[in-house]
Amino acid sequence: MAQTSIRPFTKADVGRVVSLWNRTLNRDPITGEMFELRTLRDPNFSPEGCLVAEGPGGPEGFALAVAPGTQHRFAPPPGMGRVAGLGVLPSSRRRKVGTRLMEAAFAFLKGRKCAKVLYAAHEYWCAGLDKSYTEGTAFMAKFGFKEVGVAVAMGRLLYEVDVPAEVVETGKKLAARGINTGPYDPSEKKALEDFFTAEFPEWRDFFHEKLERHDDLRDVYVARDKGKVIGYCQRLEADHVGPFGVAKEARNLGIGTVMLYALMDGLRARGYRFCWFGETGRAQPYYERAGFFITRRYSILTREL
pLDDT at 1 over 60: no
The mean pLDDT value for 13-30 works out to 93
pLDDT at 41 over 90: no
The mean pLDDT value for 204-213 works out to 89
- Mean residue pLDDT of the chain comes to 91
Mind listing the pLDDT tens digit for each residue in 131-152?
Answer: 999 999 999 999 999 999 999 9
pLDDT above 70 covers what percent of the chain?
95
Q: Rounded to an integer, what distance in angstroms lies between the CA atom of residue 67 and that of residue 108?
A: 8
Mind listing the pLDDT tens digit for each residue in 221-253?
Answer: 999 999 999 999 999 888 999 899 999 999 999
Give all domains of the chain, ordered by start, each with its CATH number: 5-154+298-304 (3.40.630.30), 160-272 (3.40.630.30)
pLDDT above 90 covers what percent of the chain?
72
Mind listing the pLDDT tens digit for each residue in 54-110?
Answer: 999 999 999 999 998 766 556 667 888 999 999 999 999 999 999 999 999 999 999
pLDDT of amino acid 154: 94
